[in-house]
């Protein structure tokens, strides 16, 4: 392993977290002679989705406490120049429990904002038009049709046509079962709901982004970015196969799919991973799924500017995050979140959020990072690393295929095992001091330990307030309309029809997330946690 700052023998290789073992230098001899010239905007899109310069949208994941509290933060973000806001909803909302459910106790408004119904969304976006941002967004991994319906119904309430705004959903349930943990339905049912969203958007909102296959949590859980990318692509294959199985032409929906890529351990791997993934995706869409539209093959990418942030000396994280953002800018992603420097401590303070937004803006405007498409293309090292990561992603994908695909790998524990082994390997490297973290296991100094400003406090009243709001809502709304809409949700689920129209009507009637999810649970069954480790 690498000793910091020491000379190594000319042939000694360093093993990167993502897998490749890199040499001290690279030359033209390391390039693939058969490749020929690749150009941005041309198959296989290694160098980017288009030939024109473009700047990634600045995207923030935000939400805490009550909708009122988060609305204030949203307004501040918009004023800072943030272009896409992704609602961070609390865990009850993500898992389909209302704020007054027994399982929600202690969690309401904690890891995100409490949302139980369209009423909460109206407050959350009060004074922030959905069309005032380039895109609006929500994870909705386990509740995809509801997340979609909340934005459709809120747009209607704000007097907007669907053409006026852009909705961007993660809606990627498969990785929840092995890397993130908000699943509550059986796997098959969750895939079906996610795919309902893609199908509905293909027909009704072709400019929206209904699903991104997400590497972020798989990598950080332990798989590493290379295996993580292969697993996320395998998840995407499962969704695409389901859609094609419904009779949809792949070109009718594939241009709307994205991937959320992630590498936090190595700057050049982050760049090469994006380039390699675009190449793998283009071949997959063309050769495996028979896509003909270049837009189906050109993968749009979102990413999160992160380093390995630490609790200690939190301001150092500004540098880590900036480097993560810089790698993704050089790689040519379409939208980018950036972490805030105090995220390892708590939900970000206003000051940390400002620093994060400014990091992206400074990188974009002040140093020419966006002046040329794929500026690292042609680097011996970056090209060789791109090729190596591509080969390893393809090899991992073949392994997943041999296991029977993503759903089989969830059922037989393959994904879980790779992640657990990777997590143990990272912990071992950390414990042996091989994984350098400045201020934690290198150059530790009491002098450097300046505290960060505290994060926002969750009002201890939030649970009671949200419960009270729900009681009022249930008293005020048209109960008969709600009951009829919920019955229709149940029959759509039971009869294997696309659930989005029924869910949309229920959301418009102010049915709650919990009520809709209870119908799903009753009709589609419930996931039960396993106890293996």
**Contact call for residues 72 and 63 (beta carbons, < 8 A):** no
Cα(281)–Cα(5) distance, rounded to whole angstroms? 38
Cα(430)–Cα(428) distance, rounded to whole angstroms? 5
Q: Which is nearer to other proteins, 86 or 182 (CB)?
A: 182
- State the nearest-atom distance from the C-beta of 180 to other proteins, in Å: 6
- State the nearest-atom distance from the C-beta of 452 to other proteins, in Å: 10
Q: Which is nearer to other proteins, 333 or 419 (CB)?
A: 419
- State the nearest-atom distance from the C-beta of 444 to other proteins, in Å: 11
- State the nearest-atom distance from the C-beta of 78 to other proteins, in Å: 25
Q: Which two tokens stand for residue 480?
A: 């008969």
Q: What are phi and psi of 169, to 5 degrees?
A: -115, 150
Q: DSSP per residue over 106-168, as a string?
A: TTTTTSSB---SHHHHHHHTTT--GGGSSEEEE--SS-HHHHHHHHHHHHHHTT--GGG--EE
Q: Which is nearer to other proteins, 418 or 500 (CB)?
A: 418
Q: Which is nearer to other proteins, 129 or 413 (CB)?
A: 413
Q: Which residues, including other chains, have CB under 8 Å from residue 299's CB and lie 6 or more apart?
A: 45, 49, 257, 258, 259, 277, 278, 281, 282
Q: Which is nearer to other proteins, 228 or 255 (CB)?
A: 228
- State the nearest-atom distance from the C-beta of 92 to other proteins, in Å: 6
- State the nearest-atom distance from the C-beta of 434 to other proteins, in Å: 13
Q: DSSP per residue over 186-212, as a string?
A: -HHHHHHHHHHHHHHHHHH-TTSB-EE
Cα(356)–Cα(338) distance, rounded to whole angstroms? 6
Residues across the chain: 533
Q: For residue 266, which of 403, 381, 130 has the smallest C-alpha distance? A: 381
Q: DSSP per residue over 97-122, as a string?
A: --TTSGGGTTTTTTSSB---SHHHHH
- State the nearest-atom distance from the C-beta of 293 to other proteins, in Å: 36
Q: Which is nearer to other proteins, 46 or 437 (CB)?
A: 437
Backbone conformation region of residue 106, classed left if phi is above 0, alpha if psi is from -120 to 50, else beta: left
Q: Which is nearer to other proteins, 222 or 305 (CB)?
A: 222
**Contact call for residues 455 and 314 (beta carbons, < 8 A):** no
Q: Which is nearer to other proteins, 52 or 102 (CB)?
A: 102
Q: Which is nearer to other proteins, 299 or 513 (CB)?
A: 513
- State the nearest-atom distance from the C-beta of 421 to other proteins, in Å: 10
Q: Which is nearer to other proteins, 391 or 429 (CB)?
A: 429
Write the burial class of residue 365 (CB in 10 Å: 0-12 exposed, 13-18 middle, 19+ buried).
Answer: exposed
**Contact call for residues 524 and 493 (beta carbons, < 8 A):** yes
**Contact call for residues 58 and 336 (beta carbons, < 8 A):** yes
- State the nearest-atom distance from the C-beta of 43 to other proteins, in Å: 37
Q: For residue 389, what is the enclosing H or E element? A: helix 380-403
- State the nearest-atom distance from the C-beta of 120 to other proteins, in Å: 18
Interface residues toward other proteins, by CB under 8 A: 91-92, 94-95, 97, 102-107, 110-111, 176, 179-183, 221-222, 310-311, 344-347, 419-420, 423-424, 427, 430-431, 437, 440, 458, 529-533
**Contact call for residues 334 and 302 (beta carbons, < 8 A):** yes
């Amino acid at each position: 392993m690498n000793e910091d700052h020491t000379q190594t023998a000319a042939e000694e290789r360093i093993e990167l977290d993502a897998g490749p073992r890199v040499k001290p230098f690279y030359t033209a001899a390391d390039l693939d002679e058969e490749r020929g010239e690749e150009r941005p905007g041309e198959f296989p899109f290694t160098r980017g989705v288009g030939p024109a310069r473009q700047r990634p949208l600045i995207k923030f994941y935000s939400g805490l406490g009550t909708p009122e509290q988060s609305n204030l933060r949203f307004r501040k973000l918009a004023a800072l120049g943030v272009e896409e806001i992704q609602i961070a909803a609390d865990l009850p909302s993500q898992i389909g429990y209302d704020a007054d459910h027994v399982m929600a106790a202690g969690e309401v408004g904690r890891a995100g904002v409490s949302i139980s119904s369209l009423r909460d969304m109206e407050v959350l976006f009060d004074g922030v038009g959905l069309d005032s941002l380039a895109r609006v967004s929500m994870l909705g991994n386990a509740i995809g049709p509801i997340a979609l319906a909340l934005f459709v119904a809120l747009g209607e309430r704000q007097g907007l046509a669907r053409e006026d705004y852009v909705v961007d959903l993660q809606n990627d349930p498969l990785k929840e079962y092995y890397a993130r943990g908000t699943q509550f339905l059986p796997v098959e049912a969750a895939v079906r709901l996610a795919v309902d969203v893609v199908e509905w958007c293909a027909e009704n909102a072709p400019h929206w982004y209904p699903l991104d296959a997400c590497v972020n949590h798989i990598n950080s859980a332990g798989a590493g970015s290379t295996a993580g990318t292969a697993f996320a692509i395998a998840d995407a294959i499962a969704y695409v196969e389901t859609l094609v199985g419904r009779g949809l032409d792949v070109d009718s929906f594939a241009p709307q799919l994205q991937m959320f890529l992630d590498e936090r351990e190595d700057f050049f791997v982050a760049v090469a991973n994006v380039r390699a993934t675009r190449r793998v995706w283009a071949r997959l869409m063309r050769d495996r799924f028979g896509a003909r539209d270049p837009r189906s093959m050109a993968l749009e990418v979102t990413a999160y500017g992160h380093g390995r942030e630490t609790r200690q000396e939190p301001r150092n994280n500004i540098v880590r995050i900036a480097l993560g953002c810089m790698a993704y800018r050089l790689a040519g992603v379409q939208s980018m979140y950036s972490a805030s420097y105090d995220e390892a401590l708590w939900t970000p303070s206003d000051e940390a959020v400002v620093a994060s937004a400014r990091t992206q803006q400074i990188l974009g405007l002040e140093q020419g990072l966006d002046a040329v498409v794929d500026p690292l293309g042609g680097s011996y090292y970056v090209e060789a690393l791109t090729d190596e990561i591509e080969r390893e992603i393809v090899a991992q994908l073949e392994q997943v295929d041999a296991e029977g695909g993503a759903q089989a790998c969830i059922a037989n524990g393959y994904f879980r095992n790779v992640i657990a082994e990777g997590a143990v390997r990272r912990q071992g490297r950390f414990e042996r001091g091989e994984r350098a973290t400045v201020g934690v296991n290198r150059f530790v100094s009491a002098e450097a330990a300046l505290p960060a400003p505290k994060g926002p406090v969750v009002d201890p009243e939030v649970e009671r307030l949200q419960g009270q709001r729900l009681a009022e809502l249930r008293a005020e709304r048209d109960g008969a309309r709600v009951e009829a809409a919920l019955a229709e949700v149940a029959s759509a689920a039971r009869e294997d029809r696309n659930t989005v129209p029924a869910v949309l009507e229920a959301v418009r009637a102010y049915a709650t997330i919990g009520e809709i999810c209870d119908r799903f649970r009753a009709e589609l069954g419930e996931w039960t946690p396993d106890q293996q480790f």
